[in-house]
Structure 1
Amino acid sequence: MFARSKSVPELMVTDIKKSLHFWTSLIGFQIAYERPEVGFAYLDKNGVQIMLEQYDPAEGQWVTGALQAPFGRGINFQITVDVVDPILQRLADVEWPLFRSCAEAWYRAEAVDVGQREFLVQDPDGYLVRLVESLGERPYSPVSH
């Protein structure tokens, strides 16, 4: 059995098959386990974990309001990967649109800047996913901001 993270978001989705294609074939997650009869999958990518559950209004799921596309408004899921280029290529191969193109970004964290190559893409239900490749750290410089 693999090690479960202490915090795992569960995303309500409209079509588990489309979502699984996005998260596994394009982004590179593996299915740790699934319950296809109820439209559920637990995904893992090097310790980053996400659960997917297909919405079924007859099942009494934990939904606090109307689900309207795009889902997840106001949140993005940052996922650190070794290299973003293979993911970008898989998305380009199927003409999947990016929400924001890949770019270098530096963010202040106390006395250092933390760098990453990042891009944003939406999953089939509109959840915003930010894939990042670490560029390391450098001393903080107010001139670079």
Structure 2
Amino acid sequence: MLTRNKMVPELTVSNLQQSLAFWTDLIGFQIAYERPEEGFAYLDFDGVQVMLEQYFAEDGQWHTGALQAPFGRGINFQMTVERVEPILARLAAVQWPLFRPFADAWYRSGEVEVGQRELIVQDPDGYLLRLAEALGERPVR
């Protein structure tokens, strides 16, 4: 049985099938459940959850303004995963461009730095995903 997170973003997408191919085949999410007749899918990847909803211009969906590509401007979704290299390999196999070069990053958090191996990529509608593999902590340098 699926345990739903307390906060799950719902992303409006221009083409649900194209988005599902990206999110499942390339990133590694599984479809927890879907309502194809409504253009909706609920995805899960080891506890990271997101909902995708097909955009229908005349359907009265909850939109605060006109949708223009790229969608999701001003937001990026950090998702902690066990390993980023398999995702990187799947993206490379289809020559999917990375938003930033694949790298290790260290961020100050109080008295320590928290490390993560980061893969930053945009989905077909331009939503920015930061897939992060934990590298641990170290003293602030």
Query: Which SS does the other structure have where 2:125 is aligned?
Result: coil
Identical positions, percent: 70
Q: Does structure 1 residue 81 correspond to structure 2 residue 91?
A: no
| One-letter code aligned to 1:6 | K
Kindly provide the CA deviation profile for residues 5-54 of structure 1, in whole angstroms up to 9, marking residues without a partner as x.
00000000000000000000000000000000111000001111000000
Matched with 1:55 is 55
Structure 1 residue 57: deviation in Å? 1.4
* TM superposition outliers: structure 1 runs of 4+ over 4 Å: none
Structure 1 residue 60: deviation in Å? 0.5
Matched with 2:41 is 41
Structure 1 residue 59: deviation in Å? 1.2
Query: Which SS does the other structure have where 1:57 is aligned?
Result: coil
Matched with 1:20 is 20
Query: Which SS does the other structure have where 2:20 is aligned?
Result: helix
Kindly provide the CA deviation profile for residues 99-132 of structure 1, in whole angstroms up to 9, marking residues without a partner as x.
1111110001111100011021000000000111
Matched with 1:118 is 118
| One-letter code aligned to 1:128 | L
Tell me, which stretches of 5 or more residues in structure 1 are unaligned? Answer: none
CA distance, structure 1, for counterparts of residue 118 and residue 24 of structure 2: 19
Q: Does structure 1 residue 30 correspond to structure 2 residue 46?
A: no
Where do residues 102-141 of structure 1 align in structure 2 (5 Å cutoff)? 102-141=102-141
CA distance, structure 2, for counterparts of residue 69 and residue 120 of structure 1: 18
Matched with 2:67 is 67
CA distance, structure 2, for counterparts of residue 59 and residue 86 of structure 1: 38
CA distance, structure 1, for counterparts of residue 83 and residue 46 of structure 2: 13
Give the alignment's TM-score, normalised by structure 1. 0.95
**CA RMSD for the aligned pairs?**
0.6
CA distance, structure 2, for counterparts of residue 140 and residue 98 of structure 1: 29
Matched with 2:100 is 100
Aligned length: 141
Query: Which SS does the other structure have where 1:23 is aligned?
Result: helix
